[in-house]
Amino acid sequence: MPAVYTAVATATGEGRNGHARTDDGLVDVDLAVPREMGGPGGATNPEQLFAAGYAACFHGALKAVARERGVAFTDSAVTAEVGIGPDGAGGFALEVALHVELGGLEQAAAEELVRAAHQVCPYSNATRGNVEVVLETVTA
Protein backbone atom coordinates (compact mmCIF):
# COMPACT_ATOMS: atom_id res chain seq x y z
CA MET A 1 0.00 0.00 0.00
CA PRO A 2 1.57 3.31 -0.97
CA ALA A 3 0.90 5.79 1.85
CA VAL A 4 -0.72 9.07 0.85
CA TYR A 5 0.17 10.66 4.19
CA THR A 6 2.48 9.65 7.03
CA ALA A 7 2.13 11.07 10.53
CA VAL A 8 5.37 11.25 12.50
CA ALA A 9 5.49 11.53 16.29
CA THR A 10 8.29 11.04 18.80
CA ALA A 11 7.90 10.07 22.46
CA THR A 12 10.64 10.92 24.96
CA GLY A 13 11.13 10.78 28.71
CA GLU A 14 10.20 7.90 30.94
CA GLY A 15 7.92 6.10 28.50
CA ARG A 16 4.33 6.59 29.59
CA ASN A 17 5.47 9.46 31.85
CA GLY A 18 7.13 11.65 29.29
CA HIS A 19 6.37 13.79 26.29
CA ALA A 20 5.12 13.30 22.74
CA ARG A 21 5.43 15.66 19.81
CA THR A 22 4.62 15.44 16.13
CA ASP A 23 7.24 16.54 13.62
CA ASP A 24 5.10 19.56 12.66
CA GLY A 25 4.52 20.58 16.31
CA LEU A 26 0.73 20.48 16.04
CA VAL A 27 0.60 17.84 18.77
CA ASP A 28 2.96 18.62 21.64
CA VAL A 29 1.82 17.01 24.88
CA ASP A 30 3.07 15.80 28.22
CA LEU A 31 2.21 12.19 29.03
CA ALA A 32 1.40 10.61 32.37
CA VAL A 33 0.14 7.25 33.55
CA PRO A 34 -3.49 7.72 34.69
CA ARG A 35 -4.16 7.69 38.43
CA GLU A 36 -6.38 4.63 37.87
CA MET A 37 -3.26 2.74 36.80
CA GLY A 38 -1.13 3.93 39.73
CA GLY A 39 0.40 6.91 37.96
CA PRO A 40 0.43 10.62 38.74
CA GLY A 41 -2.24 11.59 36.21
CA GLY A 42 -2.46 15.26 35.31
CA ALA A 43 -1.48 14.83 31.65
CA THR A 44 -2.79 12.99 28.63
CA ASN A 45 -1.98 9.36 27.91
CA PRO A 46 -1.74 7.12 24.84
CA GLU A 47 -5.26 5.75 25.36
CA GLN A 48 -6.77 9.25 25.24
CA LEU A 49 -4.82 10.06 22.10
CA PHE A 50 -5.94 6.78 20.51
CA ALA A 51 -9.56 7.48 21.51
CA ALA A 52 -9.45 10.94 19.93
CA GLY A 53 -7.88 9.60 16.74
CA TYR A 54 -10.31 6.68 16.45
CA ALA A 55 -13.36 8.88 17.10
CA ALA A 56 -12.28 11.40 14.46
CA CYS A 57 -11.35 8.75 11.90
CA PHE A 58 -14.58 6.80 12.40
CA HIS A 59 -16.62 10.01 12.14
CA GLY A 60 -14.92 10.75 8.82
CA ALA A 61 -15.59 7.21 7.57
CA LEU A 62 -19.23 7.52 8.62
CA LYS A 63 -19.67 10.75 6.67
CA ALA A 64 -17.86 9.33 3.62
CA VAL A 65 -20.04 6.20 3.55
CA ALA A 66 -23.19 8.31 3.96
CA ARG A 67 -22.12 10.61 1.11
CA GLU A 68 -21.30 7.62 -1.10
CA ARG A 69 -24.72 6.07 -0.42
CA GLY A 70 -26.63 9.34 -0.70
CA VAL A 71 -27.80 9.08 2.92
CA ALA A 72 -28.39 12.32 4.80
CA PHE A 73 -28.51 12.75 8.56
CA THR A 74 -28.84 15.88 10.67
CA ASP A 75 -26.42 15.72 13.56
CA SER A 76 -23.68 13.25 14.32
CA ALA A 77 -21.08 12.51 16.96
CA VAL A 78 -18.71 9.62 17.63
CA THR A 79 -17.39 8.98 21.11
CA ALA A 80 -14.62 6.42 21.50
CA GLU A 81 -13.96 4.77 24.85
CA VAL A 82 -10.59 3.03 24.96
CA GLY A 83 -9.98 0.74 27.92
CA ILE A 84 -6.69 -0.83 28.90
CA GLY A 85 -6.10 -3.74 31.22
CA PRO A 86 -4.05 -6.88 31.80
CA ASP A 87 -4.24 -9.40 28.96
CA GLY A 88 -3.69 -12.45 31.18
CA ALA A 89 -0.34 -13.21 29.58
CA GLY A 90 1.77 -10.65 31.43
CA GLY A 91 1.04 -7.74 29.10
CA PHE A 92 -1.78 -5.33 28.47
CA ALA A 93 -4.60 -5.20 25.93
CA LEU A 94 -7.04 -2.59 24.69
CA GLU A 95 -10.79 -2.66 24.25
CA VAL A 96 -12.86 -0.07 22.40
CA ALA A 97 -16.48 1.01 22.48
CA LEU A 98 -17.66 3.38 19.75
CA HIS A 99 -20.83 5.29 20.60
CA VAL A 100 -22.31 6.80 17.45
CA GLU A 101 -25.12 9.36 17.54
CA LEU A 102 -27.02 10.10 14.33
CA GLY A 103 -29.99 12.40 13.90
CA GLY A 104 -32.70 12.12 11.30
CA LEU A 105 -32.39 8.39 10.55
CA GLU A 106 -34.36 5.33 11.54
CA GLN A 107 -32.48 3.00 13.91
CA ALA A 108 -31.98 0.21 11.35
CA ALA A 109 -30.63 2.61 8.70
CA ALA A 110 -28.31 4.22 11.23
CA GLU A 111 -26.97 0.84 12.37
CA GLU A 112 -26.32 -0.21 8.76
CA LEU A 113 -24.40 3.02 8.14
CA VAL A 114 -22.30 2.45 11.27
CA ARG A 115 -21.55 -1.15 10.24
CA ALA A 116 -20.48 0.05 6.79
CA ALA A 117 -18.24 2.75 8.29
CA HIS A 118 -16.66 0.09 10.51
CA GLN A 119 -15.64 -1.80 7.35
CA VAL A 120 -13.83 1.17 5.78
CA CYS A 121 -12.41 3.10 8.75
CA PRO A 122 -8.60 2.64 8.86
CA TYR A 123 -8.62 2.40 12.66
CA SER A 124 -11.31 -0.29 12.53
CA ASN A 125 -9.31 -2.17 9.92
CA ALA A 126 -6.15 -1.90 12.02
CA THR A 127 -7.84 -3.16 15.19
CA ARG A 128 -9.98 -5.89 13.59
CA GLY A 129 -8.98 -9.26 15.00
CA ASN A 130 -6.68 -7.63 17.57
CA VAL A 131 -8.91 -5.41 19.71
CA GLU A 132 -12.51 -5.98 20.75
CA VAL A 133 -14.57 -3.13 19.29
CA VAL A 134 -18.20 -2.73 20.34
CA LEU A 135 -20.48 -0.51 18.24
CA GLU A 136 -23.42 1.33 19.76
CA THR A 137 -25.73 3.40 17.57
CA VAL A 138 -28.22 5.92 18.92
CA THR A 139 -30.66 7.94 16.80
CA ALA A 140 -32.29 11.21 17.69
CB atoms within 10 A of CB 77: 14
Q: Would you say 20 and 11 are in contact if contact means Cβ atoms under 8 Å apart? A: yes
Q: Same domain, yes or no, for 53 and 104?
A: yes
Helix residue ranges, H only, 8-131: 46-69, 107-120, 122-127
- Indicate which CATH number applies to the domain containing 40: 2.20.25.10
Alpha-carbon distance of 102 to 77, in angstroms, equals 7
DSSP letter assigned to residue 134: E
pLDDT in tens, 16-56: 899 999 999 999 999 999 999 999 999 999 999 999 999 99
- What pLDDT was estimated at residue 137? 98
User: pTM of the prediction?
Assistant: 0.95
What is the number of domains present in the chain?
2
Q: Same domain, yes or no, for 39 and 53?
A: no
- What residues of the chain score a pLDDT lower than 70? none
Stretch (H or E) spanning 13: strand 9-14
- Indicate which CATH number applies to the domain containing 133: 3.30.300.20
